[in-house]
Structure 1
C-alpha cells in the first residue's frame, strides 16, 4: 500500500514542473476532416440527473469556444464512455484517470487536455481520494491493534464501482492485492474467490448505496462523487475518515439518509481529465477549449466549481482556488505506472 501512495503522491511533485503549456502537446496534424459538431460523454457518476445543469454548462462553454453544436451523452456503464471517446463517436469526455488510460490504450489519439487543480490552484495538490469503507456500526470489527486495517476483509461481501474505475476499483484493488499478496487481481472481481461475493455498483454512488443498504460488507468509492450527497465529519485523507449522508440527500441516497461509513484505508488519486479524441477535434479547437475553460468566467461559475455544501450541484468540487489547468499525458505518468498501462 505504501508504494501506491508514493507513486500517486509523485503526481504532485511532477505537477510542479508542468504549466498550462502542457495542453499544447502533439495532436493529430491538420485541422481538416474534423467533427463538424461535438459530443461530450460522461461517466456514470457524472450522469446523475442532478448533474444535468453542470453538464449543460460544460457543453455551452465548449460551444462558445468552438462555435460548434455540442451534445451531451450520459452513460450507465464505464465501458460505453471509454468506447465512445476511443471510437470517435464522442469527441470529448470527462473521465477518471483509469478510464482515460484505457481509452488512450485503445486509441493513442485520445489525450487529456485539462484537469482541475487542488486547493492551491496548482497541480501540486490536484488529487482526490479513493476509499475502502465499512458501515460505521461495524467499523470496530475491522481494527487490528487499535487501528483500522484491511486485514479482516477477506471473505466479506465486497462492492466495487466498475472494473474500469480508477478510484472505484484499480487503486483499492491494487492495494488489497498488495496487502494480501494476491497474484491475480482478477480473483478480486469474482465471487467465491478472495471475497465471498463481489458486487459492482456501476457508479460511486451505487457502490456506496450497496454498502449503506447492507448488500455489501465493504465497499470502494471516492470522495468527489459523493460530497454532493453527504460530508466527511473528520479528516477525509486517512483511515478513519467518516462519511455521513445528508438528511435531505436525493436518490439514490434517499433510502440511506443519515447513515455513515468509516474508511479502513484512503488513497490519493490524480484528478480526472477532460480528454479529446484528437483525430476528431482540430488543434485549433482544442486550444480554444483550453483557453475558454481556464478563463475566470468558468473558474468563478458555480456550475463548474462549488463547495460541497452549496445548493447547486457543480461539475467538480470547489476548494480554495480550484480551477482548470492545461495538461498532457505526461502528467499521468504516476497513474500509468501504478496501473501498469
Structure 2
C-alpha cells in the first residue's frame, strides 16, 4: 500500500513538471520584439550577443544617442535628427540625443550605459570605453567609396598657417622638423586623429628627444612645445590655428569638411592648401578665406559607431545594423552627401564613403 502511495506521488510530480515545462516553452515562443530585418549580415561582421538587452518585456524607454563635441555643434543638427529618425524606424522606439562638450563625457556615457549608441567615435575613444565596459561593441562603420573596409580611412593632419608654411619647407615638400618650440594645439587626449596619431608621428620622428605623450601635453621652456592647447574638438583645434593662438594644430579632414574647401592639392597630400569656405558656420565665419597648409597627413581607420547592450535587445541591434548598412541609408543625402554639389554638407562625403558596413572589434587592434 505504502509502495503504491509513493508511486502515485512520484507520478503526480512528474505530471506537474511536464505541465510546467510546457507552459514555459509556450510562453518563450511569444515574441516580445518586432521581427528583425531579413537582410543578411555582411561577411566577417561582428555578431550581437544573445544576452543583449532585456528580453522579458517590451522596452519603451527612449534610446539615447551620444555625440562627441565635433558633431554636437549646430552645423550637425540635421544629421543628428536624421540618425535619430532612422534608429526609431529600425526599433520602433523614441530616441534622445546627449550632446557633449568633452570627449570624456561621451566615452563615459556609452561605457556606463547612460547612452545606448555613440555615433562617430574614434578608435581610441572606443577602446577607452571598451576597457571600462567590455560589453560595448562596434555597431557599424562608414566605408570607403566602394562600400568596403579596404580604403575606409580618413586623415590626421598637422597644419600651419599658409603664410608661415615656408618655415616648414623641406626641399620640394614639407616636414615637421621645425615644430619644436612652437605653440601647439591638439583636440583631446582621447582623440585618435587629434592626439594619438599625431603624437605617435612626432615621437617617432624625433627619436633623439626621447619623447612620450606626457612630454607633449604640456608646454614650457624645458618642454618640446613652448605652449600646448587643447581645442576640445577638431573644430576647436582648427580655430586655435586660424585665430593665431598657435603655430601648429592637429585635427582631421572629416570634422572640418563642412567649413573648408581644398584650394590646391587634396586632403591626403602634404603641401596641400585648405581654405575656409564662403558661408561657413560659426565660429569659422570669422575666418572666411583664411588658408592653412598641411605639413603632415596620416591615414587613420574610420571611427566606429558603438552600442551598449544594456538597454538594447539583440533583435534591436540587428535591426539597426540591417537598416544602417542598407542601400536606403547609403542613398541618404544627409548622411552621405554629394560633395560635387556646391555648398552641400552632411556627415560624410559620398565620394569618399559610399555607406555603412559592419566590422568587428578586432579591426581596431592597431590602435590598442
Superposition TM-score, scaled by structure 1 size: 0.89
Does residue 207 of structure 1 match 2:207? Answer: no
In the TM superposition, what whole-angstrom CA distance separates every residue of 1:199-226 from its partner, at most 9, and x where no partner exists?
1111111111110111000000000011
Aligned residue runs from structure 1 range 1-341, under 5 A: 19=42, 21-26=44-49, 28=51, 31-32=54-55, 36-94=61-119, 95-181=121-207, 182-192=210-220, 193-232=223-262, 233-308=264-339, 311-319=343-351, 322-336=354-368
In the TM superposition, what whole-angstrom CA distance separates every residue of 1:2-61 from its partner, at most 9, and x where no partner exists?
xxxxxxxxxxxxxxxx94551325464564377832100000111110210110100110
For 1:125 and 1:27, the matched residues in 2 are separated by 31
Is the CA contact (8 Å cut-off) linking 1:109 and 1:278 kept in structure 2? Answer: yes
Note closer, same or farther for the CA distance 1:283–1:310 as it changes in structure 2 (3 Å cut): farther
Q: How far apart are 1:327 and its partner, in Å?
A: 1.4
Which has the higher mean CA deviation after the structures are superposed, 37-46 or 274-283? Answer: 274-283
Is the CA contact (8 Å cut-off) linking 1:31 and 1:283 kept in structure 2? Answer: no
Is the CA contact (8 Å cut-off) linking 1:35 and 1:281 kept in structure 2? Answer: no
Q: How far apart are 1:303 and its partner, in Å?
A: 1.1
Task: State the SS of the aligned residue for 1:118.
Answer: coil
Question: What's the C-alpha RMSD, in Å, of the aligned pairs?
Answer: 1.9
For 1:272 and 1:184, the matched residues in 2 are separated by 24
2:34 corresponding residue in structure 1:
none
Which has the higher mean CA deviation after the structures are superposed, 284-293 or 177-186? Answer: 177-186
Task: State the SS of the aligned residue for 2:216.
Answer: helix
Superposition TM-score, scaled by structure 2 size: 0.82
Instruction: Give unpaired runs (5+ residues) of structure 2.
Output: 1-40
Which has the higher mean CA deviation after the structures are superposed, 109-118 or 278-287? Answer: 278-287
Greater gyration radius: 2
Structure with more contact order per residue of length (Cα contacts < 8 Å, sep ≥ 6):
1
Is the CA contact (8 Å cut-off) linking 2:336 and 2:353 kept in structure 1? Answer: no
Task: State the SS of the aligned residue for 2:137.
Answer: strand
Q: How far apart are 1:191 and its partner, in Å?
A: 1.5
Aligned residues: 319
Task: State the SS of the aligned residue for 1:171.
Answer: helix
Note closer, same or farther for the CA distance 1:188–1:307 as it changes in structure 2 (3 Å cut): farther
Instruction: Give unpaired runs (5+ residues) of structure 1.
Output: 1-17, 337-341
